[in-house]
Amino acid sequence: MPSLDTLAFDNGFARLPETFHSRVQATPVPDPYLVCHSPDALGLLGLDADAIRHPKLIDALAGNRLLPGMDPVAALYAGHQFGHYVPQLGDGRALLLGEVNGWEIQIKGGGRTPYSRGGDGRAVLRSSIREFLCSEAMHALGIPTTRALAIVGSDLPVYREDEETAALVTRLAPSFVRFGSFEVFYYRNQPEPIRELADYVIRRYYPEFAGLDDPYSAFLHEVMRRTAELMADWQAVGFAHGVMNTDNMSILGLTLDYGPFGFMDAFDPGFVCNHSDTGGRYAFDQQPDVGAWNVTKLAQALVPLMSVEAASAAIQDYPQIFSQAYVARMSAKIGLTPGGDTVGLLLDLLELLAANRIDYTIFFRRLCDFDSAPGAANAPVRDLFLDRAAFDAWAARYAAALRQGGAPDAERRTALRAVNPKYILRNHLAETAIRRAADQRDTSEVARLHALLTRPYDEQPEYDAYAAEPPDWARKIEVSCSS
């Protein structure tokens, strides 16, 4: 197992011409301290659990020193933000340090870069804790995502709505290239960098397409497919991203850039988790269509490499792929195959959940124990509803479908517990952990939540309170783009 001094750092992205990035040194923070870390993510780099305690690594993750082989760069990109094209964005507070074992290592909050656009380039403890916890929680849910290695904090003051303290979150991904990485060169009318970046991405991450007559169409189609599947994952688990700008869309189909995200409590198709999104562009029920819209912007950016017809053909199956993936995931959540009346049952169920404002996660977890016998009361699920008669009518149809084509109840209960999580990162849980860490430098709740959320499908009865409906005060929590 390598030590810190023998880690084999590489940086394939940094070897691209400086058209694509700027070399930047992080701005040090005073007295960095470890807030939390993910042993699982640490293992991806081939390091043992004790390595994270080494002052050299903490200093490196704070941006205060470089380990041998690190070559930090900030990437250039553009993007459509809330539907409007912004010609130059880029890593305004993130630095790609290098890569180890095929994982790019990026620190977020390392200070100003050429792309900071007047910002301070810092991240705060609040947003860093949220990103760390949600990245690892999404991975445990089986949803493609960037990973989070650690948070390093500092008492350096950072000013947002109020004075807060600085933190840096270390993110891992095979690549942080995003849709906007191509858009910036399309709108500058620079086709050669588009080709060079596409060739790099295909060579590194889609080598199966490299020998094709038209590798770019195949690449675009695969990114489209992964994006559609990712949207189905988000919708099935009740996750809203909050800022689905094209610069936040991964060319690997990963959940990227956790800001004002939110898991739904009471089911509301129009749920808006971002307080800044006053028009509801990125509402929960809009995410699949926004994913499709973003894919069209990527296709447009790649048109210099193919014909318009080829680009259109590469993305035309998005609605079908999303629909099939979503129906498959939702059917699994209720223990039925996608055929027959399953879609009708699902649509009626979602309407029923919305009308009764039922907690999305709690409902599906209780449904795991549904008794399909005729006349069964199913009180734990039924008692969630104000309109009991409407639930009874749906439950009778559901029970009949289970008896006709579902697995035996005992077998189905096991299967449903593997796809319906008991624990999600609810806003009030994150807020409690953040307050303790910020006010008292007590990071024990962050560690506890992290450990809990790495096993979201397990019962863990000692943590039942973490699976309950949110308290009344949680309704006042607002999450914005500054989060």
Q: Pick the catalytic residue from 247, 257, 265, 277.
A: 247
* Pairing outcome for strands 73-75 and 21-23: antiparallel
Closest CA to 164 of 191, 130, 215, 204: 130
Active site residue 247: yes
User: How many angstroms separate the most distant Cα atoms in the chain?
Assistant: 69
H/E stretch holding 163: strand 163-173
Kindly list the distances between the CA atom of residue 362 and the CA atoms of 12, 366, 369, in Å, as whole numbers in the listed order.
44, 6, 12
Round to whole Å and give the CA distance between 373 and 43: 47
The total number of residues written for the chain in this structure: 483
Q: Which of 230, 184, 201, 181 is nearest to 88 (CA)?
A: 184
Helices within 119-190 (DSSP H only): 125-140, 179-187
Q: What residues pair up with 98 in beta bridges, in sequence order?
A: 105
Name the helix (H) or strand (E) containing 166. Answer: strand 163-173
- Which are the catalytic amino acids? 247
